[in-house]
Amino acid sequence: MRTFIAVVIASLTALAALAIAQPTVPDVPFHDALRGTAPLDTEPKPPLMAPTENKDVIRGLNYAQQPPTIPHKIDNYQVDKNANRCLACHARSRVEESGAVPVAISHYMDRDGSVSGHLSPRRYFCTQCHVPQADTKLLIGNTFVAVEDIRQQPASKKQKR
């Protein structure tokens, strides 16, 4: 019995030593697109806020069904349970006056696909899906290719992007 306990204690000690010996921090300099090289336990100086791109030029879509990005500023546009500033220009009844693109017909459909005379509640909070863009350089690279573009590329080019 004694030897058994001794063996158990010995193996537990060995295991504990192993666990302590495991390296927890990878041996590469820390770098993060947002934090730079500031270690996780420090608070880096935040970068300046980039201005919102406000060119009023409709941007292309990266894939079918993408909610288009907002090509204008939305500072101080109220969107809450009392008011929706976006609809003041984008509602189908307002676009003649505002010159804005009317909200898509999908925004009048409920989840069963029935179209009603008013905006569907699930489309009320526009910025859940539509976002303005900052006039700044990309934080990280992006090699996204829409599925329809993949299908159009000749086979030799597919891996290269």
Q: What minimum distance in Å lies between the beta carbon of 113 and ligand HEC?
A: 12
HSE of 18, CA atoms in CB hemisphere, 13 A: 6
Among 38, 89, 145, 146, binds ligand HEC (CB under 6 A): 89
Per-residue tokens: 47: 């970068």
Among 59, 68, 63, 47, CA closest to 129: 68
Under the criterion CB under 6 A, does residue 100 sit at the interface with ligand HEC?
yes
Under the criterion CB under 6 A, does residue 112 sit at the interface with ligand HEC?
no
Residues 27-86 that bind ligand HEC (CB under 6 A): 56, 58, 65, 67-68, 70-72, 74, 77, 79, 84-86
CB 107 within 8 A of CB 119: yes
How many Å apart are CA 111 and CA 57, to the nearest integer?
Answer: 31
Longest Cα–Cα distance of the chain, Å, equals 92
Under the criterion CB under 6 A, does residue 127 sit at the interface with ligand HEC?
yes
Residues forming the site for ligand HEC (CB under 6 A): 56, 58, 65, 67-68, 70-72, 74, 77, 79, 84-90, 98-101, 103-104, 106-107, 119, 123-130
